[in-house]
Amino acid sequence: MTLHLRQWGTGDRIAVLVHGMLSSSECWWEIGPALAARGYRVVAVDLPGHGHSPALPGAGLDDFTAALAESVPAAPDLAVGHSMGAFVLASALDRIAPRRVVYVDTPFGPSRLDADPQTLTAVYAKAKARRTLDALDRQEPGWRRYDREVEARAAEQFDVATSVSLFASVAGRGFAPPAHVPSLMVRPEPSRFVPPEAVESLRRQGVEVRSVEGAGHLTWYGHHEAFMAAVDGWLAEPLPNAA
């Protein structure tokens, strides 16, 4: 499957951006240009069943990782993944081979989701139905209006069956960021997905962790400057074993 891509910039370095569940490549509408201004050619992808990419009912994690690896440039200088998109990205790292990776509020560890497809279908269908612009206006007053429009639009495009099959395929499976790729976790403070005990575990694995006070799961929404400061600070550090 060839996935839909959104691009910004013409720099010599490449950055790949991977959104989370119920979202789309449009969620990076501020981050993409910000990275382009820092010299990157930025490529954001719509995962299967999201945004303008085709639905793929019956797809498992292997199908997602294959579609991602076949659609984005290989060996980017930077890859950024949010939540569901981050564990898809982490599972595809050997094929994509980025120099650095940023994970955003990603619950690594064993999957605790109920893998029953009927249950997942009901949960995701309800989440899709509730993610309207009116609801987001009430729930997320700290976001920019365009943030809310983007997420409401992404919910309309979201294919429930594709994500149900993905999560059913990973039930009980453990996920951890590969240790051989320099990695940063950016999390909101507080975070229910990356709580303090997870922060300590990530640091023991060699993952840098930086927090954005008062942010939510889509950590850059309403906190763009703080999010970019966290990423910029880490990117300014030399790579391990760099000359």
Q: Is residue 123 part of a domain?
A: no
- The CATH number given to whatever domain includes residue 24 is 3.40.50.1820
Domains held by the chain: number: 1
Specify whether the backbone of 215 is left (phi greater than 0), alpha (psi in -120 to 50) or beta: beta
C-alpha 170/C-alpha 160 separation (Å) is: 16
pLDDT tops 90 at residue 40: yes
In this prediction, what percent of the chain has a pLDDT beyond 90? 86
Name the one residue in this structure whose structure tokens are 């997320």: 140
Q: Is residue 243 part of a domain?
A: no
Q: What is the mean pLDDT of residues 223-228?
A: 98
Residue-range definition of the domain harbouring residue 198: 5-109+174-235
Q: What pLDDT score does 243 carry?
A: 43
C-alpha 216/C-alpha 180 separation (Å) is: 29
Q: Is residue 43 part of a domain?
A: yes
C-alpha 48, offset from chain centre: 13
Q: Is residue 151 part of a domain?
A: no
pLDDT tops 60 at residue 45: yes
Instruction: Please tell me whether residue 2 adopts helix, strand or coil conformation.
Output: coil
pLDDT tops 90 at residue 114: no
Q: What is the mean pLDDT of residues 119-143?
A: 96
pLDDT tops 60 at residue 242: no
In this prediction, what percent of the chain has a pLDDT beyond 70? 96
Q: What is the mean pLDDT of residues 100-106?
A: 98
pLDDT band, very low/low/confident/very high, at 111 (cuts 50, 70, 90):
low
pLDDT digits (tens, 9 = 90+) for 150-207: 999 999 999 999 999 999 888 777 788 888 999 999 999 999 999 999 999 999 999 9
Q: What is the mean pLDDT of residues 74-99?
A: 96
pLDDT band, very low/low/confident/very high, at 9 (cuts 50, 70, 90):
very high
Q: Is residue 136 part of a domain?
A: no
pLDDT tops 70 at residue 126: yes
Q: What is the mean pLDDT of residues 34-45?
A: 98
pLDDT digits (tens, 9 = 90+) for 60-82: 999 999 999 999 999 999 999 99
Distances (CA, A) of 164 to 27, 87, 118, 127, 209: 21, 15, 9, 13, 30
Q: Is residue 104 part of a domain?
A: yes
The residues, ordered by sequence, that sit 6+ positions from 52 with a Cβ below 8 Å of its Cβ are 4, 24, 46, 157
Q: What pLDDT score does 109 carry?
A: 78
Q: Is residue 162 part of a domain?
A: no
Q: Is residue 241 part of a domain?
A: no
pLDDT band, very low/low/confident/very high, at 113 (cuts 50, 70, 90):
low
pLDDT band, very low/low/confident/very high, at 27 (cuts 50, 70, 90):
very high
